[in-house]
Amino acid sequence: MSHTTLLSHSKDIHHKDEPKDAAPGLPRQHNDGSVPDSYRNLVDDNSVPPIPSPNPDRVPGTAKANDKDNPVATRRPPPSPSADYDEPDNYANLDETIDVSPIQNPYEQPLHRYESLEETRSREQRLRRRESETRRQPAAEEEKDHGAAAREKPRVSRLATQIYTISYLILFSILGTLTRLGLQALTSSYPGTPVIFASLWPNFAGSLIMGFLAEDWMLFRHDWGSSLPTPAVASSHPPTTTAADEENHSNGSGTSSSITIDPAALKKSHAALKKTIPLYIGLATGFCGSLTSFSSFIRDMFLALSNDLSPSTPRNDGYSLTSVLAVLLVTISLSLSGLFLGAHLAIALAHLPHPPHIPRSFTNLILDRIVVPVALGCWLAAILLCILPPDRASTPAADEKYRGTATFSLAFAPLGCLARFYASLRLNGRVARFPLGTFAVNVAGTAVLAAMWDLQHLPAGGVVGCQMLQGLQDGFCGCLTTVSTWVAELAALRRRHAYIYGGASVGVAFGVAVAVMGGLRWGKGWEAVGCLH
């Protein structure tokens, strides 16, 4: 079968409902650790299960050309490479880890079937229902259905995997918040800046990293159990033909041993691996989600409407409307551009002779073992710095700025990140065409930020109270809401559903901001901020 013919069958691959463990005659590619079941609710975590093949000797993810006796093998995606974690099932609801490429034809194949977020989510729901029904079968019937392959026990327990994941989320939420505050200080505070709303560059940077992680093949490939070529390499090389093939062809046998590799199947297999690694979840959900902030984006839209984004003279309503549209269009356009650019960078790096990667032994033996004390230590240090700021000895209490600029934000950041993580696990898998988890945290975070903004502009609370409110805005609300996941979902959804979801997210959140912030702004009026920040 030719490479083009193989790709034409890709539609059939994605609608197989076989559970991940139902590959008769094939050894189960186990996940050596124990990741909680709920982890499958992450968007970057969905993958296609193996399809049983009558030929167990066939190389996973490949098919012999002109193989008419085994058509199923030509469409069989490779089994998931081996990792060290046993993730919960609901980790598949995390939209940061779903197997949907930001680019509709990432490897420029002649024929390419794009699978949307709705299709991936629906398939995952069918698989989970199938797996739950299988678990209720008697042991003898289950053994008959799944073959004689026994499931090996993961090396890392499910509890340990959850602890590692939470620790990475705490650590990367702090790092993401620090990066966001630094980018805002560097890009929006100098004289003559062309961009006067501070949320733009962090949202672009976080979306770029998210696009890179979504399309990356190399960071977690070497020595993680994947020995097949990358999708980019597989799609750029035609099937190889051996001397035996040409002899068979000359004899009229019509058989061939040339191998065709399906890039989409390889990518799905690797996505199944990445979603089980706590470090990857920490990077995608923790760092990118905390670096970007949907609530700050909506706040800047309201400040543009109320003419408070920068000191200026009074203007008419028409100018206010164009200012709102400018913030809206520039932020969404640049964030989506960053997502696509990051994906292109990942594809380009896959062609390097020695692309960067994170060794499995380094992650398992070093990072996982030190992340728990490091994450808790950083969080505790931020809390202690809020209680005892380092500038107190030489600065009057009224002039202290350290807590307002950094430490309160770092202390509240892990709470917002963890709340978003568990909201995604609970809600994102409920409606395939509308990610309820991301929508809920973005709207709720915007409402909290609007309320904190109003309280900060009232003559009450003093310096410490004002700085704590600033920390809640930058830390808790900034990490609770996310633009990187939101634009990844927009790129993954079907066009109609993407417009509905994106319009509802912006419309509802902006309406909440106008109701909460506008009541005070256009009523009593805002007072000067009571703390120096």
Q: What pLDDT sits at residue 236?
A: 52
Position 462 confidence tier, pLDDT thresholds 50, 70, 90: confident
* AA letter at 63: A
Q: What pLDDT sits at residue 75?
A: 39
pLDDT digits 0-9 by tens, 317-358: 788 899 999 999 999 999 999 999 999 999 888 788 777 788
- Residue with the larger pLDDT of the pair 108 and 467: 467
Q: Which helix (H) or strand (E) holds 62?
A: strand 62-64
- Residue with the larger pLDDT of the pair 287 and 135: 287
Q: Please give the radius of gyration of the chain, using alpha carbons only, rounded to the nearest integer.
A: 25
- Residue with the larger pLDDT of the pair 508 and 62: 508
pLDDT digits 0-9 by tens, 213-248: 998 878 887 555 555 555 555 555 444 444 444 454
Q: What pLDDT sits at residue 129?
A: 72
CA-based angle 68:74:76, to the nearest 5? 140
466 pLDDT above the threshold of 70: yes
Q: What pLDDT sits at residue 136?
A: 59
Q: What pLDDT sits at residue 205?
A: 97
- The pTM assigned to this predicted structure is 0.77
Residues 37-64 have a mean pLDDT of: 43
Q: What pLDDT sits at residue 352?
A: 80
Nearest to 424 by CA among 162, 149, 94: 94
Position 481 confidence tier, pLDDT thresholds 50, 70, 90: very high
Query: Measured in whole angstroms, how far is the alpha carbon of residue 53 from the centre of its chain?
Result: 32
Q: For the ranges 48-52, 163-167, 240-244, which has the lowest average pLDDT?
A: 48-52
Q: What pLDDT sits at residue 315?
A: 80
Handedness of CA 102, 107, 110, 114 (dihedral sign): negative
Tracing tokens 């979801």 back to the chain, one arrives at: 501
What 3-state DSSP class applies to 179? helix
Q: What pLDDT sits at residue 257?
A: 45
Q: For the ranges 94-108, 282-296, 450-464, which has the lowest average pLDDT?
A: 94-108
Query: CA 279 to CA 364: how far, in whole Å?
Result: 10
Q: What pLDDT sits at residue 239?
A: 44
Select the highest-mean-pLDDT range: 64-68, 95-99, 270-274, 476-480. 476-480
- Residue with the larger pLDDT of the pair 152 and 123: 123
Query: CA 408 to CA 384: how far, in whole Å?
Result: 10
Q: For the ranges 70-84, 146-160, 162-176, 419-433, which has the lowest average pLDDT?
A: 70-84
Q: What pLDDT sits at residue 60?
A: 37
Query: CA 51 to CA 319: how far, in whole Å?
Result: 58
Position 298 confidence tier, pLDDT thresholds 50, 70, 90: very high
Q: What pLDDT sits at residue 525?
A: 80
* AA letter at 107: Y
C-beta of residue 180 within 8 angstroms of C-beta of residue 290: yes
Q: What pLDDT sits at residue 55?
A: 38
Q: List Cβ neighbours of 522 (8 Å cut-off, separation of 6 or more).
A: 306
What 3-state DSSP class applies to 478? helix
189 pLDDT above the threshold of 90: no
Q: What pLDDT sits at residue 194?
A: 82
Query: CA 188 to CA 186: how far, in whole Å?
Result: 6
Position 138 confidence tier, pLDDT thresholds 50, 70, 90: low
Q: Give the max Cα distance, the chain.
A: 94
Position 309 confidence tier, pLDDT thresholds 50, 70, 90: confident
Q: What pLDDT sits at residue 362?
A: 87
Query: CA 368 to CA 380: how far, in whole Å?
Result: 19
C-beta of residue 423 within 8 angstroms of C-beta of residue 415: no
Position 171 confidence tier, pLDDT thresholds 50, 70, 90: very high
Tracing tokens 């094939």 back to the chain, one arrives at: 26
Position 163 confidence tier, pLDDT thresholds 50, 70, 90: very high
Other beta carbons less than 10 A from residue 147's beta carbon: 17
Query: CA 5 to CA 335: how far, in whole Å?
Result: 36
Residues 264-273 have a mean pLDDT of: 70
Tracing tokens 């309280």 back to the chain, one arrives at: 455
Q: What pLDDT sits at residue 394?
A: 58
pLDDT digits 0-9 by tens, 380-409: 999 998 888 766 555 555 456 666 678 999
C-beta of residue 389 within 8 angstroms of C-beta of residue 407: yes
Q: What pLDDT sits at residue 224?
A: 57
Q: What is the pLDDT of the chain when averaged over all its residues?
A: 75
Q: Where are the alpha helices (DSSP H) in 43-157?
A: 117-135, 139-146
Nearest to 95 by CA among 427, 337, 383, 401: 427
Cα atoms in the Cβ-side hemisphere of radius 13 Å centred on 5: 15
Q: What pLDDT sits at residue 471?
A: 92
Position 254 confidence tier, pLDDT thresholds 50, 70, 90: very low
- Residue with the larger pLDDT of the pair 248 and 505: 505
